[in-house]
Amino acid sequence: MPKAVGESLAAEKINTTLNQFTCQALHIDAAAEKKENLEESMQDFNNAYANFNTLISSELKEELPKWEALIDGEVIFKKTNFACIVMNSSINTGAANSNLVLRFFNFDTSTGDLLTTNDLINNVEEFTTLIEKYYNKEVNSTFTDADNLLNNNQFKLPETLGFSDEGVIILYDNFSVGAFEKEIVEFTIPYQVANTYLKI
């Protein structure tokens, strides 16, 4: 996973935020307290498997498949006092599909502060309208029977926005709308279009 170098307060804040994402991904046992450092979080993940395996294997008379946690990240965009980092976690505890989480983290690298959508966008309402147009075009060109996907749903921006050399990355995952369940919709708004709305 990426790590901010140096001993500044900004570097510490960035690394703490990324560590929190990883620790949360590894926090499987809801009855246990979530740990705040990577080593303890990894040990807790292993302990959760061991405890569950002990409990279930006595019933099944065989050992369960190993659980797997894959977590990584990458700096995908940098400019003066700004960096966008994408973090991915894929946790498999024996189900048919892994639990996949992808999140963008946008930092003011001079302070280490995590930037919100309101910090990045100057007119969220108009930007949302723009994204909805791109979204509908992407969905209709990618999926069949998508004409009425959002008719009964209020459109919202994704929880986090990504930034690349090409533009603003819009990503929706973990869909629960009919045939779109677990599908990922991703597209990029070019800076030529998005710059009007950006504060960075």
Is 19 a residue whose pLDDT tops 90? yes
pLDDT for 178 equals: 39
- Percent of the chain's residues with pLDDT above 70: 86
Q: What is the pLDDT of residues 154-188, one digit of tens each?
A: 788 999 999 999 999 999 875 434 344 456 889 99
Domain contains 2:
no
Domain contains 56:
yes
- Percent of the chain's residues with pLDDT above 90: 60
15 and 111 share a domain? yes
Q: Which residue has the higher pLDDT, 147 or 19?
A: 19
Q: Which domain holds residue 193?
A: 118-197
pLDDT for 142 equals: 73
Q: What is the pLDDT of residues 49-86, one digit of tens each?
A: 988 888 777 676 677 788 999 999 999 999 999 999 99
pLDDT for 94 equals: 79
Contact (CB, 8 A) for 25 and 69: yes
pLDDT for 182 equals: 52
Nearest-angstrom CA–CA distance, 184 and 16: 28
pLDDT for 153 equals: 60
pLDDT band at 124 (very low <50, low <70, confident <90, very high): very high
CB atoms closer than 10 angstroms to residue 143: 15
Nearest-angstrom CA–CA distance, 183 and 71: 20
| Helix pair angle (38-60, 9-26), 10° resolution | 0
pLDDT for 7 equals: 92
Domain boundary, last residue among 92, 115, 138: 115
H or E element, residue 59: helix 38-60
Domain contains 51:
yes
pLDDT for 155 equals: 82
Domain count, the chain: 2
76: CATH: 3.30.565.40
135: CATH: 3.90.640
CB atoms closer than 10 angstroms to residue 158: 19
27 and 45 share a domain? yes
Domain contains 151:
yes
pLDDT for 134 equals: 93
Is 148 a residue whose pLDDT tops 70? no
**Average pLDDT over the chain, rounded to an integer:** 87
List the structure tokens of 19.
């560590």
pLDDT band at 143 (very low <50, low <70, confident <90, very high): low
154 and 192 share a domain? yes
Domain boundary, last residue among 84, 115, 146: 115
Q: What is the pLDDT of residues 98-123, one digit of tens each?
A: 788 899 999 999 999 999 999 999 99
